[in-house]
Amino acid sequence: MTNKIILSVKDLSVAFHKRDGSTYAVNGISYDLHEGETLGIVGESGCGKTVSSMALLKLISMPPGKIETGSAIYKDGKDLVALSSKELRLYRGREIAVIFQDPMTAFNQVMTIGDQMIEGYVEHFGCTRKDALKEAERLMDLTGIPAAKTRLKDYPSQFSGGMRQRAMIAMALMCKPSILIADEPTTALDVTIQSQILDLMKDIRKEFGTSIMWISHDLGVVAGLADTVNVMYAGMIVESADVDELYYNPLHPYTKGLLGSLPSTDIDNDQKRLKSIGGYPPILSKKIEKCPFADRCSEATDICRHGCPSLSERTGQHYVACFNV
C-alpha cells in the first residue's frame, strides 16, 4: 500500500426513484482508495455497501437508480459520474473489475468459460481471440484451475462452485485492472473453499499490487484481509479506520455492537449468549435527517434525534460519525 490515491469518492449518493416511492440507498459517502490498499466495506444487508460500490461503474439499473447530483468519483483526475456510458465502458473491466458474489448465477450458462473470459480483453485491447485465450489460460493456471487449456472450452455448469469463483477471479484479472471490487466473493462458498479463495486473493494482491474493495458482512474475513475498513449503516459510512485500530478500539456504537455480536473463541469467557443490536435498521424511504442509528443506540441523546452527524477525524486516520464520541 502506497500513499498514492487512485480512487476518490466524494459525497456519493444513490437513490432509487420508483413510482411507489423512493429509496435512498447511499447517502453522501466519501472515501479514498490508495494504490495497493485493501479496503474492507462492512455492514449488514441493505446498508448500501454493494450499491455504493456498483455505482462506481454505474452497474445498477438506471432508472430507477440514480446517482444524485453533487456526487463525484475521481479516478485519474476524471469524474466517473460525469462520463457518458460509452466513455465509462472503457473503465469497466479495464480499470475497475468486479468479482461477483454468486459464481452460480454470475456466469452465462450457455457460453463457454473461455469465451466469457476473453470478451472484455478482446474489447479493450483489440487483440485476436487466440492471444486472448492464451492469456485466459495463463490466468486460470495462476488462479489454480487445473488443465486450464481444456477447461476453457467447458461450460459453467461443468465447474464446481469453488472452481467457478476461481474462474470469476481470473476473468476479473484479465485486463490487469488497478481496482478489484470483490462483492462478497466467498459468501456463496463453503468454509474450506472460502479460505482457499482468501489465500488466492492475498497472492493476487501480492503479485499484481491491485487495490481491492472487499465488500462483506463477515467481520472475520475482513479482519484477515483488509488494511482499512469502512463500516456502513443506512447508506452512510459511520466509521472508518485502520483495520487493527477499528477492531481493537471501535468508537461508533454500531461498530461496537457489530463486534460485540461476534462469538468469542475464548473458552474461559463466561459470556453465555451472543449480544445483539436491538431493533431494525431504518427504512430508507426518506432522506436522512437525524442519526440513523439513534433509535437503536443506547448512548443516544437529544442531539442525535435532531441532527445527522458527519464523518470526522478523531485520533489519527480514525473517522467516526457520532455526536457522542
Partner 1 sequence: MLLVITLIVFLLANLMPGDAAMAMFGSGDGSITVEAIEQQRENMGLNDPVLVRYFRWLGQLLKGDLGVSQVTFQPVWEMIQLRIGPTLLLMGTSLILSIIIGVALGIFSAVKQYSIADYILTILSFIGRSLPIFFIGLIFVYFFALKIPVFPTSGMHSMGASGFADLLKHLFLPCLSLSILRIAEFMRYSRASMLEVLNSDYIWTARSKGIKERAVLIKHALHNALIPIITLIGINIPVLFSGAIMIEQVFQWPGLGMLFNTAVTQRDQSLLMGLCLFSAIIVLVSNLLTDIAYALVDPRIRYE
Stretch that binds partner 1, among 120-128, 236-244, 257-265, 276-284 (CB under 8 A): 120-128
Stretch that binds partner 1, among 25-33, 151-159, 236-244, 300-308 (CB under 8 A): 151-159
Q: Roughly what angle, to the nearest 10 degrees, separates helices 129-142 and 113-125?
A: 120
Question: What DSSP string runs through 151-183?
Answer: HTTS-GGGS-HHHHHHHHHHHHHTT--SEEEEE
Q: What is the CA radius of gyration of the chain?
A: 21
Q: How far is the CB of 85 from partner 1 (least distance, A)?
A: 7
CA triple 24-26-29, angle to 5 deg:
140
Residues binding partner 1: what is the number (CB under 8 A)?
31
Distance in angstroms (rounded) separating the CA atoms of residues 144 and 138: 10
Give the chain's length: 325
- Name which position in 2, 157, 249, 317 contacts partner 1 (CB under 8 A): 157
Contact between 109 and partner 1 per CB under 8 A: yes
- Name which position in 55, 80, 98, 213 contacts partner 1 (CB under 8 A): 98
Contact between 267 and partner 1 per CB under 8 A: no
- Name which position in 20, 110, 192, 316 contacts partner 1 (CB under 8 A): 110
CA dihedral 141, 147, 153, 154 (to 10 degrees): -100
Contact between 120 and partner 1 per CB under 8 A: yes
- Name which position in 79, 82, 108, 305 contacts partner 1 (CB under 8 A): 108
CA dihedral 139, 143, 148, 149 (to 10 degrees): 0
- Name which position in 24, 100, 233, 319 contacts partner 1 (CB under 8 A): 100
Q: Per DSSP, what are the bridge partners of residue 74? A: 8, 79
Q: Which is nearer to partner 1, 63 or 77 (CB)?
A: 63
Contact between 102 and partner 1 per CB under 8 A: yes
For residues 312 and 319, the answer to whether their CB atoms sit within 8 Å is yes
Stretch that binds partner 1, among 22-30, 75-83, 113-121, 246-254 (CB under 8 A): 113-121
Q: Based on DSSP, count helices (H) and strands (E) in the chain, helices before strands.
A: 10, 13
- Name which position in 68, 123, 218, 242 contacts partner 1 (CB under 8 A): 123
Kindly identify the residues of this chain, within the stretch 21-80, that bind partner 1 according to CB under 8 A. 54, 57, 59
Question: What DSSP string runs through 63-128?
Answer: TTEEEPTT-EEEETTEEGGGS-HHHHHTTBTTTEEEE-S-TTTSS-TTS-HHHHHHHHHHHHH---
- Name which position in 10, 89, 138, 217 contacts partner 1 (CB under 8 A): 89
Distance in angstroms (rounded) separating the CA atoms of residues 86 and 68: 20
Contact between 247 and partner 1 per CB under 8 A: no
Q: Which is nearer to partner 1, 157 or 160 (CB)?
A: 157
- Contacts with partner 1, residue ranges (CB under 8 A): 54, 57, 59, 85, 89-94, 97-98, 100, 102, 105-111, 116, 119-120, 123-124, 155, 157-158, 171, 175
